[in-house]
C-alpha cells in the first residue's frame, strides 16, 4: 500500500497550525506537507515537526501575489529577482525541515501582455535556478499542472505541459507534481497518465472532484486508483490535499491504516 502524507494547510484546520503536526501523527500520518509555511517562524515549525516525529514531504516555494489573485512570479517576465528571493527563503525552510521536495507554481502570467513562449522561457530558467540550488541539500524541485476552472489562465494545465517544461529546463533535479484533482478535471485518464509518466513524477497529491473534498465524495474511484499506483511500483508519497467536507477526523475512512 502506498504511503500517505497529509497537507496541514488544508486539513486539520480545526487546530492551530503548530498543533496540526501532532494531530496528523495521532491519526496515522507519518509525514505532512505544507503549502506556504513562511508566516510561521522557522524555529517554531521545526520544533513542532520534531516534537511530533513526522517527516516533511513538500513545501511550496513562495508564489508572490498568486495567492491574492495576482499572476505570480515563476513565469512572469521581469519578476525573476523576486523568484530568486523566494527560492532563498524556501531553501532555509527546506534545509532545516529536511523537506523531501519543494513545489513551484507557474502562475497565471498575462498572455495578452506577454507571449506564451516568453513566459515558458522564464519559467524554465527559474526552474533550472531552483533545481541547481536545492540539489545541494537533496531536495527535489517540482512543478505542477493546475486546472483552469479553479485557476483561469494557469500557464501549465496538462500533464504534457508539465513534463514539457521540466524537459525544457533540462535539470536532473526536476520532476512534476501530479495532482489527481486538477488532472481529473482537465484530462481524466488518471491511471494511464500516471503510468505513462511515472518516471517524471516526483510527488502525487489527491482530492476528489467535484468539490475538492475527501475520497468518496466525488467521481474518482480511489480504491482502484491507489491500488493501480501501488502496482506500478510507486515508492513516493501520496499527499492528501483536500478540503474536508466535515471535521477532518471524520473524513479519513479512505485511509486503510487509519489510527484513531
Catalytic residues: 144, 241
Q: Which residue has the cell 475538492?
A: 212
Report long-range pairs for 216-220 (Cβ below 8 Å, ≥24 apart): 216/253, 216/254, 217/245, 219/184, 220/180, 220/184, 220/190
Residues whose CB falls within 8 Å of the CB of residue 15, separated by 6 or more in sequence, listed in order: 23
d(CA 171, CA 126): 11
Whether 63 contacts 102, CB under 8 Å: no
Quick check: bond before 252 cis, omega within 30?
Answer: no
Whether 141 contacts 131, CB under 8 Å: yes
Strand 201-206 with 3-7, pairing: unpaired
Looking at 73-201, list the stretches that DSSP marks H as alpha helix, in order from N- to C-terminal side.
Answer: 80-97, 116-135, 159-169, 180-186, 190-196
Amino acid at each position: 500500500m502506498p504511503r500517505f502524507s497529509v497537507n496541514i494547510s488544508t486539513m486539520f484546520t480545526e487546530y492551530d497550525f503548530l498543533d496540526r503536526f501532532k494531530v496528523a501523527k495521532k491519526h496515522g500520518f507519518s509525514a505532512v506537507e505544507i503549502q506556504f509555511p513562511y508566516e510561521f517562524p522557522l524555529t517554531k515549525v521545526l520544533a513542532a515537526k520534531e516534537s511530533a516525529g513526522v517527516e516533511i514531504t513538500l513545501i511550496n516555494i513562495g508564489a508572490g501575489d498568486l495567492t491574492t489573485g495576482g499572476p505570480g512570479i515563476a513565469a512572469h517576465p521581469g519578476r525573476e529577482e523576486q523568484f530568486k528571493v523566494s527560492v532563498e527563503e524556501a531553501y532555509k525552510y527546506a534545509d532545516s525541515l529536511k523537506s523531501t521536495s519543494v513545489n513551484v507554481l507557474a502562475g497565471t502570467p498575462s498572455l495578452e501582455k506577454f507571449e506564451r513562449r516568453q513566459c515558458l522561457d522564464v519559467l524554465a530558467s527559474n526552474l533550472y535556478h531552483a533545481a541547481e540550488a536545492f540539489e545541494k541539500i537533496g531536495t527535489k524541485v517540482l512543478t505542477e499542472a493546475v486546472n483552469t476552472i479553479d485557476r483561469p489562465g494557469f500557464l501549465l494545465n496538462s500533464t504534457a505541459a508539465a513534463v514539457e517544461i521540466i524537459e525544457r529546463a533540462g535539470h536532473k533535479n526536476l520532476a512534476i507534481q501530479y495532482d489527481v484533482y486538477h488532472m481529473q478535471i482537465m484530462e481524466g485518464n488518471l491511471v494511464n497518465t500516471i503510468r505513462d509518466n511515472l518516471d517524471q513524477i516526483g510527488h502525487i497529491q489527491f482530492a476528489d472532484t467535484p468539490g475538492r473534498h475527501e475520497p468518496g465524495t466525488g467521481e474518482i474511484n480511489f480504491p482502484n486508483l491507489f491500488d493501480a499506483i501501488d502496482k506500478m511500483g510507486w515508492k513516493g508519497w501520496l499527499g492528501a490535499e483536500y478540503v474536508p467536507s466535515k471535521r477532518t477526523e471524520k473524513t479519513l475512512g479512505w485511509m486503510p491504516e487509519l489510527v484513531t
